[in-house]
């Protein structure tokens, strides 16, 4: 079975990198935020594809294991049908083998959904970075418009000649 550690380490690394960039003073650069969002989107898509492929492979392997368990049980029961004690032992072993297959499926199913939840978290972080970048861009645009207007007002005020009737202040 797949260990969830490499997947969780990838997700944790991406999240920590994103927060380090944000806290490190680069949070105001919309280009960096958009690049980080793109990187997280790519990581999420790759992770989702990988876990989907892995899930399909594990399901197929579990189906094969289950078929092999059933075939082995049928073969043993045909061979030992006359011996009640041996047939009873085969039945107990069959039930235990099926329980292990179901338990393995349950573990894989839990890991599968945990990774999909991490993919969802990465996508949410990416959307947040995109929103922050867009808001940052808007704030920069507003700041530029304000400063441009202020500079034009000051420049216009300097061009207006002082009236001879206006008293000068010292």
| Domain membership flag for residue 116 | yes
The residue ranking higher by pLDDT, 12 or 95, is: 95
Residue 52 within any structural domain of the chain: yes
Distances (CA, A) of 148 to 37, 137, 141, 143, 152: 31, 16, 10, 8, 6
Summarize the confidence of residues 109-113 as an average pLDDT.
96
70 contacts: CB under 8 Å, gap ≥ 6: none
HSE-up of residue 142 (Cα within 13 Å, Cβ side): 6
Residue 52 corresponds to which tokens in the numbers above?
């989907």
Q: How far apart are CA 134 and CA 34, in angstroms?
A: 9
Residue 60 lies in a domain: yes
User: What pLDDT score was predicted for residue 76?
Assistant: 96
pTM of the predicted model, to two decimals?
Answer: 0.61
Whether 102 has a pLDDT exceeding 50, the answer reads yes
86: domain range? 5-21+28-155
Question: Domains in the chain: how many in total?
Answer: 1
Q: Does residue 157 carry a pLDDT above 50? A: yes
pLDDT by residue (tens digit) across 32-86? 888 899 999 999 999 999 999 999 999 999 999 999 999 999 999 999 999 999 9
Domain annotation covers residue 99:
yes
If one compares 148 and 76, the residue with the highest pLDDT of the two is: 76
Position 165 pLDDT exceeds 70: no
More confident residue, 170 or 34: 34
Contact indicator for 101, 68 with CB cutoff of 8 Å = no
More confident residue, 156 or 54: 54
Query: Which pLDDT band, with edges at 50, 70 and 90, does 161 fall under?
Result: low
Q: Tell me what pLDDT residue 1 has.
A: 47
**Assigned domain for 47 exists:** yes
pLDDT at 142: 76
Rounded mean pLDDT of 122-134? 90
């Amino acid at each position: 079975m797949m260990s969830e550690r490499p997947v969780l380490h990838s997700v944790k690394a991406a999240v920590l990198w994103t927060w380090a960039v944000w806290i490190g003073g680069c949070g105001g650069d919309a280009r960096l935020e958009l690049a980080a969002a793109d990187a997280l989107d790519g990581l999420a898509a790759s992770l989702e594809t990988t876990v989907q492929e892995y899930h399909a492979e594990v399901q197929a392997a579990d189906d094969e294991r289950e078929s092999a368990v059933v075939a082995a049980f049928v073969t043993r029961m045909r061979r030992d049908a006359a011996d009640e004690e041996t047939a009873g032992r085969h039945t107990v072993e069959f039930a235990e083998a099926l329980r292990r297959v179901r338990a393995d499926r349950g573990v894989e199913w839990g890991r599968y959904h945990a990774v999909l939840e991490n993919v969802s978290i990465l996508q949410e972080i990416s959307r947040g970075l995109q929103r922050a970048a867009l808001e940052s861009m808007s704030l920069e645009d507003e700041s530029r418009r304000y400063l441009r207007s202020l500079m034009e007002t000051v420049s216009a005020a300097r061009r207006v000649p002082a009236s001879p009737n206006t008293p000068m202040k010292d």
